Chains A and B, each alone.
Chain A
Amino acid sequence: KAGVTQTPRYLIKTRGQQVTLSCSPISGHRSVSWYQQTPGQGLQFLFEYFSETQRNKGNFPGRFSGRQFSNSRSEMNVSTLELGDSALYLCASSLLQGPEGEQYFGPGTRLTVT
């Protein structure tokens, strides 16, 4: 069974631009969660989508948004990029909605904002 895939793996953007990241979950998984990981903050939860609906949201500004498609693939968008948005963005898929399900992580997208 193929694992979670994320594209692109690396991205360099400048301040003020916007970016879209993509995540394809494990086949059959309907939950996709997104995380931001920085050295000082660890993993910070962004949001979770299940069956095309956002089910849970972390404490991030509205510049961070996402969506999920009918095939469970998910995209995350960050508008008006700031230097502090430089991070590893991870997506995780799960069979179950919410934190009870075991999460399987993708390799991440390394975003650098200059």
Chain B
Amino acid sequence: KNQVEQSPQSLIILEGKNCTLQCNYTVSPFSNLRWYKQDTGRGPVSLTIMTFSENTKSNGRYTATLDADTKQSSLHITASQLSDSASYICVVSANAGNNRKLIWGLGTSLAVNP
């Protein structure tokens, strides 16, 4: 069964600290993996999209890694800011001919405190 699991479910850190969010997936056949940031009451915004051949991708203070062998991805946030408080959602695209779909994780809720 195609699944995306994220950990931790929630996280509280102090402003300026780094943190890492995890995403494990059992999706086949794998097409790409995306990380989204969703502020409260808003729609998700794409942070990165990674294909099978990409190990690392950065977007400012956000760095995503992908290990296609172990089917794991992480999102590292450097020097966190209050505005990083949001839900971070991992999404994996499965592409099997006519059966193409996105499998969404439940997200990690991050709170950055001053």
Residues of A within 8 A of B (CB): 4, 41-45, 56, 90, 92, 98-100, 102-108, 110
Q: Give Cα A106 to B95, complex, Å.
A: 25
In the complex the two chains form, is A99's CB within 8 Å of B105's CB?
A: no
Residues in chain B within 8 A of chain A (CB atoms) = 31-32, 41-46, 49, 89, 93-95, 100-102, 104-107
Question: Does A99 contact B43, Cβ atoms closer than 8 Å?
Answer: no
The 9 A-B residue pairs with the shortest CB-CB distance, nearest first, are: A105-B43, A42-B106, A43-B104, A99-B102, A99-B93, A98-B100, A99-B100, A105-B44, A90-B43
- Out of B32, B43, B101, B105, name the residue touching A45 (CB < 8 Å): B101
- Whether the pair B89, A42 counts as a contact (CB closer than 8 A) is yes
- With a 10 A CB-CB cut-off, give which of A43, A44, A98 has the most chain B CB atoms: A43
Contact of A102 among B49, B89, B94, B104 (CB under 8 A): B49
Complex Cα gap A102–B46 (Å): 8
Supposing A99-B95, A107-B41, A108-B41 touch, asked if A45 and B46 sit within 8 A by C-beta, the answer is no
Whether A107 lies near B43 (C-beta < 8 A) is yes
A92 to B31 Cα, complex, angstroms: 19
* Contact status A42-B43, CB under 8 Å: no
List chain A residues, Cβ under 8 A from B101. Answer: 45, 56, 99
